[in-house]
Amino acid sequence: MQAWDTVIVGGSVAGLRAAIAAADGGSSVTVLSPSHPSSTCDDSIVSGISASVGEINSSTHSMDTQRIGASLCENDIVTSTTGSAVAIVAELERWGLNLRRLRTGMPHLGQLPGQSNPRTASTGDSTLRETRQILEEQCIKRNIPRRGDIEVLDLVIHRGKACGLVALDTQTGEIFGIQSKSIILAGSGFQSAWNGDRFAMGTAGALALRAGISLADLEFNSMHPLTVADTDYAIPLDVLGSGGEVLGSDGQPMSTEDGPDSLALSIVRGGGASLDLTNVSREDMPWFGAITEILSSRCGVDATMQLIPLMPRTNSTIGGIPTNNQGQVIRSDWNTILHGLFAAGDAACSGLHGASLNSGDQLLGALASGKISGEYAAEYAAKAKHSASSEISVAVTNAHHAHDTMLSGSEDESVQASAVRSSLANTMRTHMGAERDASGLSLAASSIAKLQNLPLMISDSNPVMNTELVDTIRTQNLLAVSAAAVSAAISREETRGNHIRTDFPETSDSPSHSLSHEDGTTSNLSMRS
């Protein structure tokens, strides 16, 4: 059995930043990331990092975040995150991130949807990729090991404390236990439920549900407004801060004041829109070279001369594992902390985003929550002891039995995991898209329940390098979190942020978080601040 002070589950930006903070806090750290590296979100849609570099203070940034979050943001998290943004950007630059700058030497700041002032610093169309690279280099300097061949199967909780994990070595097929004084869940969201791919499967959320931890605000998912019509290719919002414009069907610029989700909804309701990049200057265009190349090769569009057709798709999720302002996971209320367990990034619901994502806040939130959770996880680990080795061993034995059952299933009676994901994506796009109602949500719940009961195909009974086994595990995770999300959407009988209920168009005067429980029920969690 392996033993560590702090284990990070997920190789996202949040996970890497958490690993750095935990190592700097004196913890022995390892990062367990899936074979398909999950990121904060899709590389192409990250809209830089919001920071009030050119403003007197962060108050306007804070107000913008709260406004777009539709009164569901936690004030203390918004204030602390926006207040730390300038320091976060400065730290990345010290580590080597090459942000855009003006000829004067000042940072280039784009004013993106939902921002009252220019506030987004970026590297053009590669902000997330370069940020991740910088963080990986810092992890290497600290000798932090990373395992990309590990699939985490279960959390081990004993007497109100997280004490270990059960994991699968996907190369050898070995199932083994890991003791850890603290654990940080920092994987992706679950947007694969709408897209049908395998890169954001909601693993962290599913681990939490199976451990009896409720998930918060799963009904809120974000549609990226600059998705090219009839494709899954999304263009970063940064182009709108460099002269790009979204034009409605009448050819007039569309309002971006109310944030990217509001813009996406307007595009959907209008039957589509166009992105005009012809006014982006020659000086700025090289920062978006990858975009123009992809638009030309994949979409047949010359962005320097032609309008780009748009039709938004869900590319991010907002809800997740509820945490307090120290990144600690809570159970059913703010006073019930699960000791030793933390969450960060898209895996967490920290209260930063509320009911809708604002431009530049997603990457900022991942970096801020990663740093905070890593610091407090290290502090906790320094005072804790390894425990519950017998409980971890029992969990390993149970996992062995479950996997033996999965590997012995009949191929004739089963369906491919990819087919299940495709069916799930069709259900979620149809009934959990831009607008919802009780009838459609009920159909979605019924459809997902049927998918959960289908036996998934594993044609090879050998656990060594068994990609079908891994795909089955991840698909089951995705179904579990998707079912919880639909349940949350059914229970929220109001319109708030990007949760648009056509049968409940009004917004309640008493905002509260939703909690989705392992048994399929939901409840409310009061605002913390």
The pLDDT of residue 527 is above 90: yes
Q: Is 206 left (phi over 0), alpha (psi -120 to 50) or beta?
A: alpha
In this model, does residue 333 exceed pLDDT 70?
yes
Q: Is the pLDDT of residue 204 over 60?
A: yes
Query: What is the arithmetic mean of pLDDT over 242-264?
Result: 95
pLDDT of residue 186: 96
Helix/strand/coil (H/E/C) assignment for every residue in 446-481 = HHHHHHHCCCECCCCCCCCCCHHHHHHHHHHHHHHH
Does residue 457 surpass a pLDDT of 90?
no
pLDDT recorded at residue 30:
98
Encoding tokens for residue 127? Answer: 């902000």
Pair of tokens at residue 424: 């799930």
Q: What pTM was computed for the model? A: 0.96
Mean pLDDT of 180-186: 98
- Percentage, residues of the chain above pLDDT 70: 97
For the segment 468-487, the average pLDDT, to the nearest whole number, is 96
pLDDT-derived band at 125 (thresholds 50, 70, 90) equals confident
How far is it, in rounded angstroms, from Cα 228 to Cα 308?
7
Q: Which two tokens mark 402?
A: 């479950």
Average pLDDT for residues 51-55, to the nearest whole number?
A: 92
Burial 40-58 (b: 16+ CB within 10 A, else e): bbbbbbbbbbbbbbebeeb
Residues in the chain: 529
**Residue 410 banded pLDDT, cuts 50, 70, 90:** low
Q: What is the pLDDT of residue 231?
A: 87
**What's the number of CA atoms in the CB half-sphere (13 Å) around residue 350?**
35
Query: Residue 333 and residue 369: Cα distance in Å, rounded?
Result: 20
Angstrom distance (rounded) from CA 361 to CA 46: 9
Tens of pLDDT, residues 127-149: 999 999 999 999 999 999 999 99
% of the chain at pLDDT higher than 90: 82
Average pLDDT value over all residues in the chain: 93
Angle at 221 between CA 219 and CA 227, to 5 degrees: 155
The pLDDT, as a whole number, for residue 40 is 40
Q: Does the pLDDT at position 44 exceed 60? A: no
Give residue 290's Cα distance to chain centre. Answer: 23
Q: What is the pLDDT of residues 258-304, one digit of tens each?
A: 999 999 999 999 999 999 999 998 888 888 888 888 899 888 889 88
Label residue 78 by pLDDT band (50, 70, 90): very high
Confidence class for position 45, pLDDT limits 50, 70, 90: low
Reported as a single tens digit per residue, the pLDDT across 366-397 is: 999 999 999 999 999 999 999 989 999 999 99
Give CB contacts under 8 A, 24+ apart, made by 361-364: 361/50, 361/65, 361/81, 362/40, 362/41, 362/46, 362/47, 362/316, 363/13, 363/40, 363/46, 363/47, 363/48, 363/49, 363/127, 363/128, 363/131, 364/49, 364/50, 364/51, 364/81, 364/82, 364/85, 364/88
36 — pLDDT class (breaks 50, 70, 90): very low
**What is the DSSP secondary structure assignment for residue 357, as one 8-state letter?**
P
pLDDT at 38 over 60: no
Taking residues 414-440, report their average pLDDT. Answer: 95
Question: What is the enclosing helix (H) or strand (E) of 224?
Answer: strand 221-224
How far is the C-alpha of 424 from the C-alpha of 143, rounded, in Å?
Answer: 40
Helix segments in 53-197, DSSP class H: 59-68, 75-94, 127-141, 192-195
Q: What is the pLDDT of residue 309?
A: 95
pLDDT digits (tens, 9 = 90+) for 494-513: 999 999 999 999 999 999 99
CATH fold of 225-313 reads Flavocytochrome C3; Chain A, domain 1 (3.90.700)
Q: Return all residues near 328 (Cβ < 8 A) that are at least 6 apart.
A: 337, 338, 339, 341, 342, 376
b/e code 63-91 from CB counts within 10 Å (16+ = b): ebbbbbbbbbbbeebbbbbbbbbbebbeb
Question: What mean pLDDT comes out for the span 442-469?
Answer: 93
- Judge whether residue 459 has pLDDT over 80: yes
User: Around 274, how many Cα atoms within 13 Å sit in the side-chain half-sphere?
Assistant: 16
Taking residues 54-79, what's their average pLDDT? 96
